[in-house]
Amino acid sequence: MGGEPNVNISRRAFLKLASIASAALALSAVPLAEAQKTGEFRKWALGEVGGKPDIVKAKVTPVICAYCAMDCSIDFYTVGEKILWTAGSHDSPANWGRLCSKGQAAFQLVDNDLRILHPMIRTGPKPPVEEILNAKSWEEYVGIIKRYPPKWRVVSWDEAFKYIAEKLSNILSEWRRTTGAPKQKDGYYYVGSQVPVQVIGSSVLVNEEAYLSKKLATFLGSANMDSQYRKCHSSTVSALAVTYGWGAETASIEDVALADVILFFSSPAEAHPISMQYFFKARKDKGAILITFDPRLSRTAMVSDLWVPFRSGSETAILLYILHYAFFERSPPIDQLDEFKRLMKKWNITLDDLNELKDLISQYNAEEVSRITGTPIDLLKAAARIYVERSGVVTNHKKHGAIQWAMGFTQHTNATISIIRAAAIVQLLLGNVGYPGGGAHPFRGHSNVQGSTDVQGAGTAALPGYHGHPVSAMEVRLYQDWKLQGMPDPWSWEVPEWALGAFPALKASAGKGKADLGKVLQVFKFYGWRRHELLWGMFCGTDPEGDPEKGTVICDFPVGSGSTEIVFPRRALNKEIRAAFIFGENPVATNPNAKVIAAALASLDLLVVSDIFETETAWFADVLLPAASFAEKEGTKTSSGRVVSWSFKVAEPRSLSRPEYWIIPRLYKYLRAAGAILLPSEAYGKDVEKVKFRVDSEIVNVYERRLDPDTSWDYSGGTGSATPVGPIEAEANPRIINKEINFTVQIYDGMYDPVRDKFLTMRRETTLRKPGDIDGLFSRAFNVYKDFGWSWPHNVRFLYNYDTLVAVLGTSYKVKAAGVEWVVTGETGEIIDEYTGEYRPAYIPGHNFWAPRMFKRRLSGVSDLWGGVNMMKFIRTGALEFPEKSFVVKGPDGGIKVISYEEFASLTGMKYLWANDTLYWDEDTTTFKALVKRPFFPGEGWLKFKPKYEEMREKLKTYYQQTGSMKQAVLKVIEEMGRWYAGYNFQYPIHTEPAESPDLELAIKYPTMAWLHPHNLKVLKEEPGIVAGKPVGLALVPGELKVEGGELVVLTSNRLTETWHGGSMSRNLPLLVQLVPEPFAYVPEKLAAKLGIKPGDYVEIVTARGSVKMRAYTTKGMAYLKVAGKDIPVVNVLWSFNFQGRVIGPSGNFISPDVGDVDTTIQETKVWLGYIRRAG
């Protein structure tokens, strides 16, 4: 049991050989010196061939890889500051000693002659905005940009910070003066979208840094905060979160080895190479069938059992066809199976709902889906049959299927609402999700993209940990009332009568003792706000505290949502955003429609960029800050499968480069000193919170808390296990920040053990748990490494596995912990017990949908969080300092008393209440349902929508025929019907075409969803004014793209094993550059033959956004499809090259559109329209 999926080096054979060799040496009559001369024997010292004999003396430090989110551990072998060698760490279940080409080359990110090592200030003018927007070809674009070099002046850190602070202070002071902010009509707060500052970054930072970038945005009052996750998996997060409760991959990587069939909709062999060992383990152990859906014969397709080519943008149709097979083609249909009926109770749907869904699915038969997707019918049928027949619901959990995806799913206008929702629903209805081998596996790109999303609360609309921003002053009043009720859990909270008008969703379970999802989500928000208030020294509530209804609303958290990375550029061009901070990101390369982002950055009054290289984004910066590379700092990263592990520091940052955990607190200090930051509580003049509880309508003074935002930014020092590891860390200690995250972000609660002063993320155990341990049976039966790192929530590795042990193993599990015997049916995770300080199972009897949001809290109505202990002080010094009195209790006579921690602890035994805030999950809390049905827009369900659907199609067709312009037709339909897709609430997914559809018939039959989002309408209408008439728009149907010669193709984009996203981390590394030195386009051989394109020829690809010339990689392994009766070739372009760095070349993003997903705005860079021809 356990161990590596496969061990191939035979150690026994090795030892045997070693003994033969030494025997041979001993027997040999020839002296060694002589033997060397004659070539017989020669003994080489380790490292001799490569000139690294010091390797035997090297220090070995494990670092989490800088690339993908498998979060492999790399051992760095160093002597002093010199890196001699790197190899995969054997003590990490992520990679078991293995690495991919990027991981093996990653050390070249540290020692690289292109690193920037000093802060620099721009002295040159920026490229003119209009000129950039007008460029029709890549060559023209680069020509314009290169005429305006930054002309850097090297400065000290002090000068750089002062320069930034002064400029930003001017921008914000003026803005505050003209708008009156933070004073509003109904209180003191910033409307988060209006603050003219955008903060971006990043998914390569450690959690401790990413968290600070969100904290900085919050202190600036800005909700215009976003990161790379927007562009890779925001749609996944959104779709999975509304269906299952959380947006994360449903299980850690061990899960895929337990699958019996896997559908790949991405290419993990290229984007996540190390994961393949687990897929191959499934193949070896379980006979799993691997099926790859991809327009390209990827390196995953290459090793799969089946390659199913299809047209990018038609994923929903494929997924709905799988259900069509399950409900209408197999016998018996799955809804007649007992297991389906049992599970249906967990999905929040009625039989009527199911019938409605089935009616929708009935439209997607094999013939129709083949017409939409271009996939041959027999392949489609075989894939669906294999997948359904190996599902949990059909086999009674003897088999399960997993769906794996990445950008192929996520970067579409209909990604959230159709594609990923469809995948999530397929997994639920087939009884896969929540069971081993049945995961929904969106593989994250960046090494810490999951963590960055978590600790930035997905940026725009929530605090760290997804605790949503307040949406209104009224919500702050409701929050103040919640605080007055003693920070209750959902069951102990009584929604006040006066708030029900404003919050109708809370009506159903307003009273005490009841809780539904609406109430649970509201308390989860409030609970997060309180955590942040306490750790950030801020205030959100009313003054006076005892009068939530009429007091003045003051909130230091920004109110509402802000602009995403995709929406931001057009807002900047419209002068709504004036300044931006970009930490470790390169949007000029990674954003779609390159001219728009480049022009936007050129238009800013202040752009501050931190990076390790002078990226394309840095080209537009006013100030460029040298960041430390991934091996020159420490902190945690969260893998795609939510395993949080510690990355250790190898060496001091080269020259003056610094980690962002050092840069951002300094920046804060300078910004503060220059007056750039003004909190609403300060504008109002509030510096103390009087914590009061209302008990039996009596207001009780509990304790007073001094607001102290500046101390919350002081991360110097550190004791015990947080003793700083170097001089930089002594000034800004990531270990203190890590503890802060532990206490602000509820889902990360538990990664630090405050009782034992231990960072659990540092654990490197590669053994399975034993019988008798918490989750001992789970860990053993499914080979899950629960003691390597730590996983949210509460170290649960497989989400939602409520009854896995019973359903799969046929048994429940008894475990004794913290003096109690627990009977559990799934994975429970563990939490510190408030009575004993020992660990006990967290989720009883197993982990279910939406957990851990629906906690119960023993201190509800009794005390503030953690008993009111000064948590800001505890994380810095380890000292537990409680207010003199902070616990509200009723005496035996019914009298209300406020008593001390010591008194309360001795009265109740809850000595460790400060460690876990007395949270617990019983069976009430673990019965929340998944949402198969979920409306996204106002309107009716599918059945009622059907006639309107027809009407919409008819109108669209008529108006297109009348005007000859799809844009005009769309706008007319919206005008007449009141809204795009008027009448459908999108409760169930349907196929919709991409914004740029290759076929007129399909564009009318399945209208794109795009126009449901105001940003997309901006793109359609060519807004703001400055872009009008410039080549940055759309061609909605082939007829709108006028190109001489060439062939119409569906364009899609990809990266390779050897290239990395925007490319600054791959095309600057000599080792990787040699493998893929130039960008190219995958051209189907048949198309190449038609156009006379030979391998390696330059081709020109022309789109509504202009054109690029790239080399042609001609191959039979690129889809040439029959879509709706017509030949549709697919061409795939690389997007990881650009105009800066060791090797350069055109980027696929020069020609991709900046329309986005209608829910999260993630860009549609997996499908657009173009013509291809041989370049002259």
Partner 1 sequence: MAKTSFLGADGGMAVIVNLDNCIGCRACQIACQEWNGRTPPQTSFSPTFTNPPRLMPNAWKVVMFHEITREKILRVEEATVKISDAVELVPLPFNCLHCTDAPCARSCPVRAIKVTPEGAVVIATEECIGCGSCFAACPFKVPQKGPDGKYYKCTFCVDRIQNSKAPACVEVCPNRVFTFTSMEDAVRIAESMKAEGKEIYGLDLSGYVGGRVRWIFALSKDKAAQVFKKQFPEEAVGTMGSFGDLAKMLGVPGLVLASAAGIILGVLAWRKERMKKTESQEA
User: Residue 29, interface with partner 1 (CB under 8 A)?
Assistant: no
Candidate residues 1, 26, 33, 51; the one interacting with partner 1 per rule CB under 8 A: 51
Adjacent-strand bridge partners of 256: none
User: Residue 783, interface with partner 1 (CB under 8 A)?
Assistant: no
Instruction: Residue 871: name the closest of 915, 927, 817 by CA.
Output: 915
- How far from the centroid of its chain's Cα atoms is residue 420's Cα? 14
Residues numbered 1117 to 1156 that lie near partner 1 (CB under 8 A) are 1117
Region near partner 1 per CB under 8 A, out of 86-94, 532-540, 721-729, 931-939:
86-94
Region near partner 1 per CB under 8 A, out of 4-12, 122-130, 597-605, 827-835:
4-12
Q: How far apart are CA 625 and CA 557, in angstroms?
A: 27
Query: Closer to partner 1 at the Cβ: 305 or 359?
Result: 305
Can you read off the two tokens belonging to residue 763?
A: 């654990």
Site mask for partner 1 (CB under 8 A), range 1039-1078, x = bound: ------------------xx-----------xxxxxxxxx
Query: Closer to partner 1 at the Cβ: 476 or 1118?
Result: 1118
Name the residue with tokens 């960008």: 1079
User: Residue 17, interface with partner 1 (CB under 8 A)?
Assistant: yes
Site mask for partner 1 (CB under 8 A), range 615-654, x = bound: ----------------------------------------
Query: Closer to partner 1 at the Cβ: 300 or 1149?
Result: 300
Q: How far apart are CA 866 and CA 917, in angstroms?
A: 5
# residues contacting partner 1 (CB under 8 A)? 90
Residues numbered 380 to 439 that lie near partner 1 (CB under 8 A) are 381-382, 385-386, 389-390
Residues numbered 700 to 759 that lie near partner 1 (CB under 8 A) are none
* Burial class of residue 51 in the structure, from the number of CB atoms within 10 Å of its CB (0-12 exposed, 13-18 middle, 19+ buried): exposed
Query: Closer to partner 1 at the Cβ: 846 or 1063?
Result: 1063
* Burial class of residue 646 in the structure, from the number of CB atoms within 10 Å of its CB (0-12 exposed, 13-18 middle, 19+ buried): buried
CB of 327: closest distance to partner 1 in angstroms?
A: 17
CB of 904: closest distance to partner 1 in angstroms?
A: 54
Query: Closer to partner 1 at the Cβ: 260 or 565?
Result: 260
User: Residue 25, interface with partner 1 (CB under 8 A)?
Assistant: yes
Residues numbered 348 to 387 that lie near partner 1 (CB under 8 A) are 378-379, 381-382, 385-386
Give the length of the chain: 1176
Region near partner 1 per CB under 8 A, out of 36-44, 133-141, 352-360, 723-731:
36-44
Candidate residues 49, 504, 513, 1125; the one interacting with partner 1 per rule CB under 8 A: 49
Residues numbered 536 to 565 that lie near partner 1 (CB under 8 A) are none
Region near partner 1 per CB under 8 A, out of 46-54, 175-183, 730-738, 749-757:
46-54
User: Residue 44, interface with partner 1 (CB under 8 A)?
Assistant: yes
Query: Closer to partner 1 at the Cβ: 555 or 1143?
Result: 1143
Region near partner 1 per CB under 8 A, out of 6-14, 644-652, 787-795, 925-933:
6-14
Region near partner 1 per CB under 8 A, out of 101-109, 143-151, 914-922, 968-976:
101-109
CB of 401: closest distance to partner 1 in angstroms?
A: 11
Candidate residues 61, 73, 78, 101; the one interacting with partner 1 per rule CB under 8 A: 101
CB of 279: closest distance to partner 1 in angstroms?
A: 9
CB of 764: closest distance to partner 1 in angstroms?
A: 19
Adjacent-strand bridge partners of 226: 200
Specify the 3-state DSSP secondary structure of 313: coil
CB of 1109: closest distance to partner 1 in angstroms?
A: 12
**Which strand (E) or helix (H) includes residue 697?**
none
Region near partner 1 per CB under 8 A, out of 10-18, 706-714, 807-815, 927-935:
10-18
Angle separating helix axes 734-744 and 207-219, nearest 10 degrees: 70
Instruction: Residue 714: name the closest of 529, 537, 533, 462 by CA.
Output: 537
* Burial class of residue 255 in the structure, from the number of CB atoms within 10 Å of its CB (0-12 exposed, 13-18 middle, 19+ buried): buried
Tell me the C-alpha to C-alpha distance, in Å, between residue 995 and each of 234, 265, 873, 970.
Answer: 19, 21, 53, 11
Tell me the C-alpha to C-alpha distance, in Å, between residue 710 and each of 537, 685, 715, 744.
Answer: 8, 16, 10, 17
Adjacent-strand bridge partners of 659: none
Q: What is the dihedral of CA 238, 241, 243, 244, to 10 degrees?
A: 160
User: Residue 31, interface with partner 1 (CB under 8 A)?
Assistant: no
Candidate residues 32, 46, 117, 907; the one interacting with partner 1 per rule CB under 8 A: 46
Query: Closer to partner 1 at the Cβ: 60 or 977?
Result: 60
What's the Rg (C-alpha) of the chain? 30
Query: Closer to partner 1 at the Cβ: 360 or 1088?
Result: 1088
Query: Closer to partner 1 at the Cβ: 461 or 1110?
Result: 1110
Query: Closer to partner 1 at the Cβ: 22 or 156?
Result: 22
Query: Closer to partner 1 at the Cβ: 25 or 688?
Result: 25
DSSP string, 1032-1043: -S---SGGG---
Adjacent-strand bridge partners of 455: none
| Amino acid present at 167 | K
Residues numbered 1092 to 1111 that lie near partner 1 (CB under 8 A) are 1095-1096, 1111
User: Residue 1113, interface with partner 1 (CB under 8 A)?
Assistant: yes
Spatial strand order in the sheet of 306-308:
306-308, 289-293, 261-264, 401-405, 440-442
Adjacent-strand bridge partners of 64: 73
Instruction: Residue 102: name the closest of 1136, 842, 1101 by CA.
Output: 1136
3-state percent helix, strand, coil for the chain, nearest multiple of 5 = 35, 20, 45
CB of 1065: closest distance to partner 1 in angstroms?
A: 15
CB of 617: closest distance to partner 1 in angstroms?
A: 26
Region near partner 1 per CB under 8 A, out of 2-10, 367-375, 717-725, 1164-1172:
2-10
User: Residue 150, interface with partner 1 (CB under 8 A)?
Assistant: no
User: Residue 333, interface with partner 1 (CB under 8 A)?
Assistant: no
User: Residue 41, interface with partner 1 (CB under 8 A)?
Assistant: yes
Q: How far apart are CA 1019 and CA 874, in angstroms?
A: 50
CB of 70: closest distance to partner 1 in angstroms?
A: 9
Residues numbered 267 to 306 that lie near partner 1 (CB under 8 A) are 269-270, 273-274, 276-277, 280, 289, 297, 299-300, 302-303, 305-306
Candidate residues 307, 568, 839, 914; the one interacting with partner 1 per rule CB under 8 A: 307
Angle separating helix axes 517-536 and 734-744, nearest 10 degrees: 150
Residues in CB range of 707: below 8 A, 6 or more apart: 537, 538, 539, 681, 686, 687, 688, 689
Residues in CB range of 776: below 8 A, 6 or more apart: 769, 770, 813, 815
**φ, ψ of residue 230 in degrees (nearest 5):** -55, -40
Query: Interior CA angle at 1157 toward 1154 and 1158, to 5°?
Result: 115
Q: How far apart are CA 944 and CA 542, in angstroms?
A: 45
DSSP string, 260-277: SEEEESS-HHHHSGGGHH
Region near partner 1 per CB under 8 A, out of 20-28, 484-492, 783-791, 1165-1173:
20-28
Q: Are strands 540-543 and 467-468 parallel, antiparallel or unpaired?
A: unpaired
Query: Closer to partner 1 at the Cβ: 86 or 312?
Result: 86
User: Residue 26, interface with partner 1 (CB under 8 A)?
Assistant: no
Specify the 3-state DSSP secondary structure of 448: coil
C-beta neighbour count of 33 within 10 angstroms: 8
User: Residue 179, interface with partner 1 (CB under 8 A)?
Assistant: no
Residues numbered 107 to 126 that lie near partner 1 (CB under 8 A) are 107
